[in-house]
Chain A
Amino acid sequence: MAITSIKNLKEFSTANDRFEGSHLLCPGCAHSMIVRELMNATDDNLVIASNTGCLEVSTAVYPYTSWDTSWIHIGFENAATAAACAESMFKARKRKGTLPNPDAPVKFVAFGGDGSTYDIGFQWLSGAMERGHDFTYICLDNENYANTGGQRSSATPVGAHTSTAQAGTHSYGKTQRKKDIVSIMAAHGAPYVAQLAPNKWKSMAKGFQKALETEGPCFINTVSACTTEWKFDPKDTINVTDLATDSLMFPIYEIINGHELNILYRPKNVIPVEDYLGAQGRYKHLFKPEYRHVIDMIQKEVDEKWELLQRREEARV
């Protein structure tokens, strides 16, 4: 595959963007940072499927499209299915010799938000992973249904306020844990699974390239800071993402062939989760005395998860 040089940012910046401006995502939205980076990481033709979510509704508002590649718009549960079907069709036609341009390099990619990935399209995603299609599924994880008014999803973390898990006198927001989608996808035995973040552009571009190059189903969960529902100033998207990766709320790591775990970013100074939580309106209530214990609980879980990741990396099992 033709990959773009990501040796340094200057080289990377010679890539010609294939995700155009004047899409209708919110100012400062991390979705488009992630999509741009995926598309800039390769020279190959891309067939991309997006299911219902912010990305889909904002990038193809008739009469406009922001996609300079083949792009399929599909229902809430079906990004993985559409990409898998396109991939199967491509393979079959290649075998039958009915492709007009059989040697053109093509990669198949699906984008879904956390609503469609963790919840609504979960079964279809699992099916496509199990069938082993040669595609890459990228989840843009902003931890809520941001497109429909910020309802909780199974990606929403403990303690976050959402429109359907509200914080107030009797509740500290969502009480249930975030689903560990990365482990679930790795458990499918997928050749490449990772969690990446746009502030660490190089590890993200490398991860994207690895996934595109790898034959078989790959899954990447990306942290997509949401200025509207996480409630921070649009200019701070990268700053908040820095806090997310440096507090280890979002550890950056990959799992190869379902077991070989590599940590891709180790913060020099790990900051307390409090700093990350405090930068967002959705966690504001946790700083009241009656809910302080939730912050301690979150910190404890983050520490435990980091310990687990390190041990797994060491054990190579």
Chain B
Amino acid sequence: MSTGVLGTEKRGIRELGAEEKVGWDEVTRGVVLDSFEGDATDIVHKKAEERNYSDFNSYTATVASWRIIKPVYNRDICIDCQNCWVWCPDTSIISRDKQMLGIDYDHCKGCGVCVEVCPTNPKSLLMYSEATDNDEALAGWPQKEKKEKK
């Protein structure tokens, strides 16, 4: 039985489409992009590599082409303070079990914030041109800067 778009059987109930009748507390899904395949209830306890991302999740996309400069990470100097992790705007610092592991170059846009907030001397992250080979960058890493005595 159709009651028309605005016809109501009972207050607050409105027909949406031919079959579905929903109340105010049952809203239809509308246009929904699922971020995951299958059950996503415990996602908060799963690390990225344990998750079943759907093709709609921007995690599966890349913005690497935005970059003209990139951060290079030097494990030898890093103190795992996690400054870079907390302030990276693009979820591109890979930290696991309190350790900084490296840069996610699929999602990094090369903003340089991580280098600015890195507290070590010399820095454990430095910006290089996108074309630079990471090993070469590491081989020529700057030495500790001496503070000038006043």
Please list the residues of chain A having a beta carbon within 8 angstroms of any beta carbon in chain B: 9-14, 16-25, 27-33, 36-37, 43, 45, 59-60, 62-68, 89, 92-93, 101, 104, 198, 201, 233-239
Contact = CB atoms under 8 A, between A and B. Distances in A.
Nearest to A86: B27
B13 to A, nearest CB: 15
B149 interface: no
Contacts of A65: 33, 35, 56-58
B81 interface: yes
A237 to B, nearest CB: 6
Contact of A17 (B25, B48, B58, B106): B48
B95 interface: yes
Contacts of A21: 58-59, 63, 90-92, 104, 106-108
Nearest to B50: A16
Contacts of A60: 33
A235 B112 contact: yes
Given A13-B82, A27-B89, A237-B89, 14 more contacts: A10-B98, A12-B86, A13-B95, A16-B43, A16-B45, A19-B91, A21-B90, A25-B89, A45-B44, A60-B33, A68-B57, A198-B87, A233-B112, A234-B113
6 contacts: A22-B59, A22-B106, A64-B33, A65-B57, A235-B112, A235-B127
A235 B33 contact: no
Given A22-B63, A29-B89, A64-B58, A14 B97 contact: yes
B45 A68 contact: no
A38 to B, nearest CB: 12
Contacts of A93: 25
- Top 4 A-B residue pairs of the complex, sorted by shortest distance between their CB atoms: A21-B107, A235-B112, A27-B111, A28-B111
Contacts of B43: 16, 18, 68
Interface in B33-67: 33, 35-36, 40-41, 43-48, 51, 55-63, 66
B46 A16 contact: yes
Nearest to B62: A22
A242 B51 CA distance: 35
A93 B41 CA distance: 19
Given A22-B63, A65-B33, A238-B117, A16 B44 contact: yes
Contact of B61 (A9, A22, A45): A22
Interface residues of B, number: 53
A207 to B, nearest CB: 15
B85 A13 contact: yes
A19 B58 CA distance: 9
Nearest to A72: B30
Contact of B98 (A13, A20, A92): A13
Among B24, B33, B87, B115, find the residue whose CB has the most chain A CB atoms closer than 10 A: B87
A45 B44 CA distance: 8
Contacts of B24: 89
Contacts of B40: 68
A168 B86 CA distance: 39
B45 A22 contact: no
Contacts of A32: 89-91
A17 B66 CA distance: 22
Contacts of B80: 10
B109 interface: yes
Among B41, B97, B110, B113, find the residue whose CB has the most chain A CB atoms closer than 10 A: B113
B66 A27 contact: yes
Contacts of B85: 9, 13
Contacts of B90: 21-23, 27, 32
A60 to B, nearest CB: 7
A264 B36 CA distance: 38
A92 B115 CA distance: 49
Contacts of A13: 82, 85-86, 95, 98
A63 B92 contact: no
B107 to A, nearest CB: 3
Contact of B110 (A27, A29, A101): A27
Contact of A235 (B56, B98, B107, B115): B115
